[in-house]
Amino acid sequence: MIEQISFEPVTEVHKRDVSISEYYHASIGANKHTLEVPRECTCIVGGQFGDDFSLPMWENALVQTSLANPGSFIAMHGSRRSSVWNSDGARPRFRIVKDCQWDGMQSEGSEFITEEPLSLRGDLPSIEVILTQGEYQYVIFRSLHAVMDGAGLLHFMYEFFRALRGEALQGTNTLLTDIELMSRLERGQRSAVKGTPPYATGGPKGNETGDCWKSIRVRGPKPKLLQRVILGVAEMSAKYSAAPARIAMPVDLRRHFPDLKSTMNYTTMVHFDVAQDATVEDVTAAIKVLMDGNADVSIPEKANFLKILPLSWMGKLVSRSPKNFTKRKILETAVITNIGRHKSKSFSGPGFQAERVFSVPIPGNTMVSIMNMDNDIAINVGTEKVYATEGRLEELTQCIENALA
């Protein structure tokens, strides 16, 4: 039973509690003794800038988008359990990168994206839009994950291009946290998975720190795309272990509230195991059971307890360090997220024609992100470098391609 919520336009964020999921994301990279960088969400639209491009017009669109969505300029105040968001942070910024030679097919060459820091404390923006010039032209949307989840960043992207085209904006209509949303839904059961999952690529080899990713581009349509990608990862895992692959799948709580419009964090995670002999139908059935059973609506009873820790302490607790990065216990074989199908006209406007869209996998685990624009499908496969050595990342991408053939 869904408790009715009145969604009204929101133009200001004032003392809105930092949720435990936001606090967790904020802790990544907060401790200088770990190997983590601040956790970000990045979505990239590739295309062509036209002769009618006008930077003042684009700057005005960014201002209008930000005003309609105050979560785009929030700053964190206070600490621990008293930490709150206020919309008094720096506004989103543009950054222009000239002579871009990066083709968007691998992480190498993308270092320019994170060259300029973002901030949760309001002294710098928490969101920026990067425009690249040269052989490869992109509009890159980048935000700190504590401020926006992937769906929130997508909402911001759609809003920006609406503003650019002179269309009405949807804005933001709630400041409820993810836990507050869950409390208004019929509670589900947490995923019943046990034991240590197998690695996607057979475990750590070598001692190189950091992360990397590669992209697969295929033409659609590809029926049951998510399920087939999952089976590709399971096929790779089966080369190294007889145990079923454990898949973590992000689920957006907005699915329960179609009228909810917000840039903030409403993503939860469900887990399920995939046997080595599983079929597309098996994976479809497993996902259906979880969704029908509201497995995404599972409030962790003691999670808020973690907010007694300073961000730097929590960051140390959950992050990779020089001592543990080759022997950390993993929680899943892979995180796999389907960020949906989109039309090129949605990410186009005066001065720019969109041609493709893709998302950068979040560092720190094996992750596959899927995006589709006009049946141009981008599947980006990322992992830690110690799991990618000896050609294993290429082997993993090949298994996924085989599953899609």
Q: How many CB atoms lie within 10 A of CB 322?
A: 11
> CB–CB of 345/373 below 8 Å?
no
Among 101-105, 166-170, 176-180, 296-300, which is the least confidently predicted range? Answer: 296-300
Q: Quote the tokens at residue 332.
A: 């899943």
- Selection from 24, 1, 31, 5 nearest residue 320 by Cα: 31
Read off the pLDDT of each residue in 172-185 and give the average, rounded to a whole number.
Answer: 94
Residue 153 has pLDDT above 80, yes or no: yes
Residue 330 has pLDDT above 70, yes or no: yes
Alpha-carbon gap, residue 267 to 253, rounded angstroms? 6
Residue 298 has pLDDT above 90, yes or no: no
Long-range contacts of 140-143 (CB under 8 A, 24+ apart): 140/42, 140/43, 140/44, 140/45, 140/113, 141/42, 141/43, 141/44, 141/45, 142/40, 142/41, 142/42, 142/113, 142/114, 142/118, 143/40, 143/41, 143/42, 143/118
Alpha-carbon gap, residue 221 to 223, rounded angstroms? 6
- Selection from 363, 379, 350 nearest residue 225 by Cα: 379
> CB–CB of 80/310 below 8 Å?
yes
SS3 248: strand
Read off the pLDDT of each residue in 289-295 and give the average, rounded to a whole number.
Answer: 95
pLDDT digits (tens, 9 = 90+) for 162-174: 999 999 999 999 9
SS3 167: coil
SS3 394: helix
Rg of the chain on CA atoms, in Å: 20
- Selection from 379, 374, 382 nearest residue 400 by Cα: 379
Q: Return the residue matching tokens 């298994």.
A: 399
Tell me what pLDDT residue 7 has: 93
Give the Å distances, CA to CA, from 89 to 41, 85, 331, 383. 18, 9, 34, 33
SS3 373: strand
- pLDDT band for 193, please (50, 70, 90 cuts): confident
- 51 Cβ partners below 8 Å, 6+ apart? none
Alpha-carbon gap, residue 133 to 139, rounded angstroms? 10
- Selection from 70, 107, 61, 63 nearest residue 88 by Cα: 70
Q: How many CB atoms lie within 10 A of CB 367?
A: 24
Tell me what pLDDT residue 189 has: 81
Tell me what pLDDT residue 64 has: 98
The DSSP annotation for 80-103 comes to GGG-EEES-SPPPEEEEE-S----
Tell me what pLDDT residue 279 has: 98
Residue 191 has pLDDT above 80, yes or no: no
pLDDT digits (tens, 9 = 90+) for 31-74: 999 999 999 999 999 999 999 999 999 999 999 999 999 999 99
pLDDT digits (tens, 9 = 90+) for 75-118: 999 999 999 999 999 999 999 999 999 999 999 999 999 999 99
pLDDT digits (tens, 9 = 90+) for 249-266: 999 999 999 999 999 999
- pLDDT band for 301, please (50, 70, 90 cuts): low
- Average pLDDT in the chain: 96
Among 193-197, 216-220, 304-308, which is the least confidently predicted range? Answer: 304-308
Tell me what pLDDT residue 349 has: 98
Alpha-carbon gap, residue 370 to 368, rounded angstroms? 7
Q: Quote the tokens at residue 59.
A: 């700057």
| Inter-helix orientation angle 55-68/150-165, to 10° | 130
Tell me what pLDDT residue 194 has: 87
Q: What percent of the chain has pLDDT over 90?
A: 93
Tell me what pLDDT residue 303 has: 73
Read off the pLDDT of each residue in 273-293 and give the average, rounded to a whole number.
Answer: 97
The DSSP annotation for 115-142 comes to SS---SSSSS-SEEEEEE-SSSEEEEEE
- Selection from 292, 347, 360 nearest residue 112 by Cα: 360
Identify each DSSP E strand in 183-299 by its residue range.
211-219, 245-252, 267-274
Tell me what pLDDT residue 1 has: 61
Q: Quote the tokens at residue 232.
A: 């590709």
